[in-house]
């Protein structure tokens, strides 16, 4: 789990995860964002996503020319997953 922009308390039902021996990890990058440790962790997550081992939920895709609308959508806190801008 990376990010909690809403700062709302999260409730997670781990019962369904236990049956599949799944793992949930929380990450707070904070002041460490520029460290090698964080860089290596982010690189590993990118590689896991590329291999299909990590599910990345994409909520909405905007063209780069609609950047203002993409930002407004993110700021509305309506997004569930990533918001992507493409050229």
Same domain for 41 and 64, yes or no, is no
Residue with tokens 């990376």: 2
Q: What is the mean pLDDT of residues 55-69?
A: 93
DSSP letter at 8?
P
Mean pLDDT of 51-63: 90
What pTM, to 2 d.p., does this model score? 0.49
Does one domain contain both 40 and 12? yes
Query: What's the domain range around 75?
Result: 57-87
pLDDT at 70 over 70: yes
Residue 83 to residues 8, 35, 50, 63, 71: CA-CA distances in angstroms?
A: 19, 25, 18, 11, 9
Are residues 48 and 63 both part of a single domain? Answer: no
Same domain? For 50 and 63 the reply is: no
Encode pLDDT of 11-47 as tens digits.
Answer: 777 887 787 788 877 767 777 888 898 889 889 988 9
């Amino acid at each position: 789990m990376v990010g909690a922009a809403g700062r709302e308390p999260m409730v997670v039902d781990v019962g369904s995860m236990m049956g599949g021996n799944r793992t949930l990890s929380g990450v707070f990058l904070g002041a460490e964002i520029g460290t090698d440790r964080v860089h290596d962790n982010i690189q590993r997550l990118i590689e896991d996503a590329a291999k299909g081992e990590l599910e990345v939920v994409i909520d909405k895709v905007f063209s780069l020319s609609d950047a203002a609308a993409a930002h407004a959508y993110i700021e509305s806190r309506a997004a569930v997953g990533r918001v992507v801008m493409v050229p």
